[in-house]
Structure 1
């Protein structure tokens, strides 16, 4: 894949824009940037098989967890099931949206993205309850079209009874060759299309979690067995250093909060600005004015399409980018915010992780940020917490 193709994939992905330790459940997360019917495909399929048959779980002071997989750093997904008997899907866990959807058996074979992935068949599930309301979910410039259905949903054997989700009958082309079949939204109900109750809210209401929160550990350079963790209902202090810094959610829609300031090279990029923490965005999306300022400060040259590149030989001399959140400074070093991409001729380029999307006036802190900082999404207290993630 050449440099431009990698950038297009990244930008499309960005558009899809004292705690109790008892009974915490961990979900396998698998980061991957692109997907073909080769070794990558085998990994995606094996993750489902492992969930079904291997039962690789461990119980300890922080609860149970599943073996994790890692391919690349652009998308994180895990295993879930719908129905009785269970139908398994690889699913992308996204704190930047609030609906759950998977491809439907009624999605036509002419839709390539549907044809490539597992599909839900309501006639095969004894726990299915019809709904039928037609909805459309917009992700940036693309849309997923389908209708609502209700069934039992599980991840890591946590049952969510009577969960309403969308059966997608039209899936956009950005999901062609993607390693995940659909999206599991983890944001607030106020942004859920059709006012559907999100799965996390139902988990909490049905008493499935020890605490009404989730936390993410996204490993950026893991091996095949160390991809990341999504912990439902708890926090694992072994996955971060120091203390968690919490800030209140400013608007309950996305996981939105206030950032006191962002600076680099002693240049202020924003003051009292709004940001959202979004596991469904691989990079860091900034307002357009800040995009020009920040890439100017790090010496990145715009490629004309919302991406910018630096001289790889100069990477170690680039400045840090500092985020002041809740009285704590969270720093991204050049090795955090510069992404190495390789073209078809094995030439290596160094891309800035700071990009922009027209019309957005807030910062979207995606996986580049969340991968550096363990992140807690606390619905019970309407707050979000950060701490430096462990790297070993």
Structure 2
């Protein structure tokens, strides 16, 4: 194993929003066609959290493989903006609510949105400013006609933030020129009166209130090498495609419609419970966020998890900088000792609130491959679990093992084993857990708790 010096570049950006209860600031981390019908949506609520596979009346084949990206830099989809259509690659982000695109020349953009060339653009006469802990962007609000070439066969008018100035927002070589926020209006900028893209889609079309993501990371392919950083996947808008998962879908409730907030009731490393009060896992929230690269954990939880992972993988020595995400570790191509690293298990509250279900996270997910410019003979990795000051964030490295359904109509998120992985150890299972209800009660009353 070799430990090279890591050239740090932050592609996971943190936006500022108000935190309920505490009054402090919230830091957020940002990393094909056919008509749809109502029958494409998810089945109605069931008495359990499971949904068995079934035939769909709608063919989603043209939406398969409509996502592209690079490891650690996010997944993007092609969108057409304006009249005549301008094709742009847009980052898919379930952790924000603005549709924003580059609208001025930038060293990292090969193309950008030209408002003056769109006959359908309408200026709203409002500006928007979005600060991050490491960077910012600002722009002007308007509306324009949008469509997704490899998505539902519809066109709609939606709000768009034309980014005119930015600092450390766009990523050199990422190949995306904007961001598609898919969360709820409560966290839209400049305020919740700005209707998000998906809300506009629902209001103007008959597309069902659901979308699903299959993110296929570079670690989930046959003949895998860390030197290949290209990733792909599928975003199905308006339904669920059974061809993208195996087994059953397990659902967890959306606790609050701002971010896609869920409740974690237990975390295990190598089969051993971290044995922490469940409110520690969810303070101040737990969210599912495709726009974040890492699994981010609150400080106390992160420290406990790293200690457990270090103990389980003690047959090799790792520098402290590796666990902090500041250094890479490398092995000769094809010799990565996956077997020494433990499985991380997250237990999510199920729809039946006296139960939970477990999602198992493999080292092939939480060790993120990074291209090593020094040598083509090594596979190098960055530890993709990091510390958070704003709760747990289940980012892309978690989602890459699963097919994730954002069933907004029934206020739930579904997980199933993805068909794009190459590892049979990935699993979903359920357990009776009466503490799940207690954990929810504690989480709801978190704001009056004095002990964090």
Q: TM-score range by the shorter chain?
A: 0.7 to 0.9
1:78-124 superposed Cα distances (whole Å, 9 cap, x missing partner): 100111110111110100000001112xx3x5x534xx242222222
Deviations 1:365-384 (A, max 9, x none): 11111111111111112211
Q: Which residue of 2 aligns with 1:329?
A: 358
For the Cα contact (< 8 Å) 2:60–2:236, is it kept in 1? no
Q: Please name the residue that 2:384 is paired with.
A: 353
CA-based RMSD of the aligned residues comes to: 3.0
Residue of structure 1 in register with 2:30 after alignment: 16
- Cα distance in 2 for partners of 1:122, 1:261 equals 49
Aligned to 1:292: 303
The residue aligned with 1:101 is 100
Counterpart in 1 of 2:321?
303
- Structure 1 partner of 2:46: none
CA distance in 2: counterparts of 1:131 and 1:159, whole angstroms:
23
Q: Is the 8 A contact 2:403 2:418 kept in 1?
A: yes
Q: How far apart, CA to CA, are the structure 1 residues paired with 2:214 and 2:200?
A: 23
| Uncovered stretches (5+) of structure 2, i.e. residues with no partner | 15-27, 32-36, 43-56, 223-227, 311-317, 351-355, 423-452
Q: Which residue in the other structure is 2:433 paired with? A: none
More helix by share: 1
Structure 1 unpaired stretches of 5+: 25-58
Select the residue among 175, 178, 199 that pairs with 1:179.
175
| Greater mean alpha carbon deviation, residues 333-342 or residues 218-227 | 218-227
Cα distance in 2, alignment partners of residues 201 and 319 from structure 1? 40
Q: Give the drift of 1:364.
A: 0.5
CA distance in 2 between partners of 1:267 and 1:365 (Å): 19
Specify the alignment match of 1:62 in structure 2: 60
Residue 204 of structure 1 is matched in structure 2 by 202
State whether residues 274 and 305 of structure 2, in contact with CA within 8 Å, keep that contact through their aligned partners in structure 1.
no
Partner of 1:277: 288
How many angstroms does 1:22 deviate by?
A: 4.3
Distance 1:170 1:374 in 2: 35
Q: What residue number does 2:211 align with?
A: 214
Q: Secondary structure at the match of 1:351?
A: strand
Contact 1:374 1:387 in 2 (8 A): yes
Paired residues of 1:21 and 1:62 also in contact (CA < 8 A): no
| Further displaced range: 222-231 or 328-337 | 222-231
1:150 and 1:341 map into 2 onto residues whose CA distance is: 38
Residue 254 of structure 2, aligned match among 224, 243, 249: 249
Pairwise mapping of residues 87-166 of structure 1 onto structure 2 (< 5 A)? 87-104=86-103, 107=104, 109=105, 111-113=106-108, 116-156=109-149, 158-166=153-161
Structure 2 Cα separation of the partners of residues 304 and 242 of structure 1: 35
8 Å contact 2:297–2:393 — kept in the other structure? Answer: yes
Change (3 A) 1:269 1:255: farther
Contact 1:23 1:63 in 2 (8 A): no
2:6 is matched with which residue? 4
TM-score, with structure 2 as normaliser = 0.69
Moved more, 274-283 or 182-191: 274-283
Question: How far did residue 69 of structure 1 move?
Answer: 6.4
**Alpha-carbon distance in structure 1 between the residues aligned to 2:87 and 2:275:** 44
Secondary structure of the residue that 1:171 maps to in structure 2? Answer: strand
Aligned residue pair count: 346
Cα distance change on mapping 1:152 and 1:3 into 2, 3 Å? farther
> Does the 8 Å contact 2:78/2:87 carry over to 1?
yes
CA contact (8 A) 2:67 2:235 kept: no
CA contact (8 A) 1:295 1:301 kept: no
Would the alpha carbon gap of residues 15 and 4 (structure 1) be closer, same or farther in structure 2, given more than 3 Å must change?
Answer: farther
Structure 2 CA distance for partners of 1:72 and 1:112, relative to 1, 3 Å:
closer
The CA deviation string for residues 51-100 of structure 1, in whole angstroms up to 9 with x for no partner, is xxxxxxxx973353265465643210110011111011111010000000
Deviations 1:9-54, CA, capped at 9 Å, x for gaps: 455598327x965499xxxxxxxxxxxxxxxxxxxxxxxxxxxxxx
User: Structure 1 residues 63, 304: closer, same or farther in 2, change over 3 A?
Assistant: closer
